Amino acid sequence: MVAASLAALMHTAPDASAHASRAAVSCEGSNTISFSPGLSLAAQPTRISGSGAYSCLSTDPALRSGTSTISGGGRNGCFFSDATTVERITWNTGERTTVTYRLGNVQQVAGQAVVLVVGRVVEGRFKGQTVASPGLQVTVDPLTCASKRGVELITGPSTLVIL
């Protein structure tokens, strides 16, 4: 859900807007992600946790929303990421989906965390399908990457597209 540039990642990721019309699920919502320790200029071992909430359109009209928990870790910084993140989604239908994101990019640009992660559903509804989740989360202070504490929390709008 930093080593590669966002442009390069977008090139390797499915184009969510082009595929949204044929997506199994296309959702908009928000995510809040915590980093411990906070993201800094130098990459270091980091734990990731968070949550998400989505409103959705789906090929199944009964599926209209979902909430998620996010966890993971790896070597992360404001300009580098080598992490695996898991998002566990519970749909309004009671069904569940587990997504593993191994390809991701989080870059701090003028105080904004530009996020794009690409993954695969590994368990539950939509198993085997590709997931793209771009978003723009706000960092309150753009100089936080250079501070001793680093970026500990990002929050903001996100999209979840299951193809």
Residue 109 is predicted with a pLDDT of 57
Q: Token digits for 99?
A: 């997504």
User: Are the beta carbons of 48 and 79 closer than 8 angstroms?
Assistant: no
The pLDDT tens digits of the residues spanning 16-39 come to 333 344 568 999 999 898 999 998
> Please, which residues bridge with residue 77 across strands?
80
> Please, which residues bridge with residue 87 across strands?
70, 99
Of the pLDDT bands very low, low, confident and very high (cuts 50, 70, 90), residue 11 is very low
Taking the C-alpha atoms of residue 4 and residue 81, their distance in angstroms, rounded to an integer, is 8
Q: Let me know how many helices (H) and strands (E) the chain has, helices first.
A: 2, 8
Taking the C-alpha atoms of residue 16 and residue 35, their distance in angstroms, rounded to an integer, is 26
pLDDT over threshold 70, residue 157: yes
Of the pLDDT bands very low, low, confident and very high (cuts 50, 70, 90), residue 156 is confident
Taking the C-alpha atoms of residue 51 and residue 30, their distance in angstroms, rounded to an integer, is 8
Instruction: Using the CB atoms, write b or e for 91-101: b if 16+ within 10 Å.
Output: beeeeebbbeb
Residue 54 is predicted with a pLDDT of 97
The pLDDT tens digits of the residues spanning 60-100 come to 999 999 999 999 999 988 777 788 999 999 999 999 999 99
pLDDT over threshold 90, residue 143: no
User: Are the beta carbons of 24 and 55 closer than 8 angstroms?
Assistant: no
> Please, which residues bridge with residue 40 across strands?
none
The pLDDT tens digits of the residues spanning 90-136 come to 999 999 999 998 855 555 555 565 667 789 999 999 999 999 886 65
Residue 19 is predicted with a pLDDT of 37
Model pTM?
A: 0.78
List the one residue out of 76, 84, 1, 72 whose CA is nearest residue 40.
76
- Please tell me whether residue 67 adopts helix, strand or coil conformation: strand
Would strands 96-109 and 80-91 be described as parallel, antiparallel, or unpaired? antiparallel
